[in-house]
Structure 1
Amino acid sequence: MSRNDRHDWPPVLALHGFSGSGEDFEPLRDALAGEGGGPGIFAAPDLPGHGDAPVLPDVAPGEEAFVAAGDTILAQAERAGLHRPLLLGYSMGGRMALHLALRAPQRFRALVLVGATPGIADPAAREAREDEDRQRAAALVADGIQAFADRWEQHPMIASQDRIAEPWRSAMRARRRRQDPRGLAWSLAALGTGVMPPLWDRLAGLTIPVLLLTGEEDAKFTAIAEQMACLLPAATHGVLPGAGHCAHLEQPARAAAALREFVGQLNRKI
């Protein structure tokens, strides 16, 4: 967690993507600080099953696991002294952030989602994704983290991370290869998109300000964000040129500019 003396920003609580780490946010954090306009507190914990964060035992996959993970995140925020932070989530972390914001909107000043989805509404498609996640989790344990990471980084949605600048890209890949495959497998089984309760029908009730960020080259999640923006009462959708799915790290300066503009709008509404 980083701290400085900025008082015009709310604290930021950032949730990373699958197989990632809180340290993955360093390019964005540095881009914000480089202009002297970043948050006073930027907290980015490792999510359950990642890094040193343990899995959550004895919880059922899906809603129960999302609630338990959300409770863990809220407890971490409270211990860190984060009062009504701006909640930022990327991909898997974005799904968790959206679920948490819908559960406890009063705990957050605003929500920023990067390449995130409210889940899969169609039951057959959701079941197919659950099967895919289950197979990927089994392969993780059977083949080991090195083989998984090599395959994962060739996935079309992940391959655009090649444009993340050094030294961050190499550090991010090295951290991925230090993950415990059993923890990642648990995360897929308990918190994957296939078992996530779809949240589309609840978006209209989320009244806190929301910024949706997607990469211009991430057609799937840009389309999802456009649909979400039509349903959320206070949402803005920003598309970052020259970026794929991991838009905030592939184009951190542009993401930082979008965040500054969003926070400026929040301050003008106070």
Structure 2
Amino acid sequence: MPETLVLLHGFGGTHRAWDPVLPELDHETYSPIVPDLRGHGTKSGVRPITFAGCVGDVLAAAPDAFTLCGYSMGGRVAQQVALAAPERVRRLVLVSTSAGIADAEWRRQRIAEDERFADDLERMTIAEYADYWMAQPLFAGTPPEAAAWWREDLLRNDPVGLAAALRAIGGGHMEPFWDRVSELTMPVTVVAGARDEKFVGFAEQYRRRLPHADVHVIDGAGHGLPREAPVALAALIGEGAVA
């Protein structure tokens, strides 16, 4: 019987962010569940938006035991699910993510940036948001075909929901939990794109804190791994399947 695989999208995306990956998975191995996170897609209006609420949503949707994979913001949520219910998460796959901003001054700056952007978001159309978001240096080098598909997914959101999510579960507002990463005793796979230098650095932090983790860097890819390298990412998700 296939293992349940829960896939969590990043900020600004929806469950459709995993569309390029799903056909590449071995469906004899995995049966995917792909929810929207609060403030996004079909859950744009769900309140309150909190990490605890997102964790509760995932645990309510999943069976007693499952594999969990999260991308970017979804990876931060996934880690908190695994910390809250380690007996249920058989394996954890972390894609282009981190355990938060450890430096206090850097975090204060990020909170201020998130607040300013959330204010701007509430005045934007969803098309204006999509154009702004895709133009960030973090996403430089996204292949045109992947970018066109990605924009369609961004447009499935509502700026008000995204602003609320940014204020509640954005990178700045999240308390860092690097000191708890060692509690992730289940099998862990960490994946980053080679062009995504910041998150390659985070991958190395996981390697130091989780000696049992498998850490992979995908050549030629940036931050948007589910859309930029779906075949390679699906292979890594399947590679460590729990028997």
Do the aligned partners of 1:214 and 1:221 also contact (CA within 8 Å) in 2? yes
Structure 2 CA distance for aligned equivalents of residues 227 and 136 of structure 1 = 28
List gaps (5 residues or longer) in structure 2: none
Tell whether 2:198 aligns with 1:214. Answer: no
Q: Could you tell me which of 8, 21, 24 is aligned with 1:15?
A: 8
Counterpart selection for 2:113 from 132, 141, 153: 132
Q: Is the 8 A contact 1:28 1:256 kept in 2?
A: yes
Structure 2 residue 153 is the aligned partner of structure 1 residue 175 = yes
One of 51, 54, 58 as aligned partner of 1:66: 51
- Residues 17-32 of structure 1 correspond to what in structure 2 (within 5 A)? 17-32=10-25
- Relative to structure 1, the CA distance from residue 217 to residue 41 in structure 2 (aligned partners, 3 Å threshold; closer, same or farther) is same
Instruction: Give the CA deviation at 1:162.
Output: 2.9
Are the counterparts in 2 of residues 160 and 246 from structure 1 also a CA contact under 8 Å?
no
| Greater Cα offset, 253-262 or 194-203 | 253-262
What is the alpha-carbon distance in structure 2 between the residues aligned to residue 134 and residue 184 of structure 1? 12
Deviation at 1:54, TM superposition (A): 4.1
Residue correspondence of structure 1 range 45-194 to structure 2 within 5 A? 45-58=35-48, 65-77=50-62, 82-162=63-143, 165=146, 169-194=147-172
TM-score, normalized by length of structure 2?
0.93
Q: 1:171 to 1:219 in 2, by over 3 A?
A: closer
2:227, 2:8 → 1: CA distance?
Answer: 13
Question: In 2, Cα distance between the equivalents of 1:127 and 1:177?
Answer: 30
SS at match of 1:238: strand
SS in 1 for 2:7: strand
Deviations 1:46-104 (A, max 9, x none): 11011111445356xxxxx2112111221122xxxx33111000001001111111111
Q: Partner amino acid for 2:9?
A: H
Q: Tell me the residue number matched to 1:4.
A: none
When structure 1 is superposed on structure 2, of 251-260 and 82-91 the one drifting more is 251-260
Residues 88 and 164 of structure 1: CA distance in aligned 2, closer, same or farther (over 3 Å): farther
Report which stretch shifted further, 207-216 or 22-31: 22-31
The list of structure 1 runs, each at least 4 consecutive aligned residues, that deviate by more than 4 angstroms after superposition, is: none
Equivalent pairs, count: 243
Q: What displacement does 1:171 show? A: 4.0
Structure holding more helix per residue: 1
Query: Residues 39 and 19 from structure 1, CA distance in 2 versus in 1: closer, same or farther, beyond 3 angstroms?
Result: farther
Structure 1 residue 158, shift from structure 2 partner: 2.3
Give the superposition deviation at 1:164: 5.1
Q: Distance in 1 between matches of 2:18 and 2:96?
A: 14
Alignment match, 1:251: 229
Indicate how the Cα distance of structure 1 residues 90 and 160 shifts in structure 2: closer, same or farther if over 3 A, else same. farther
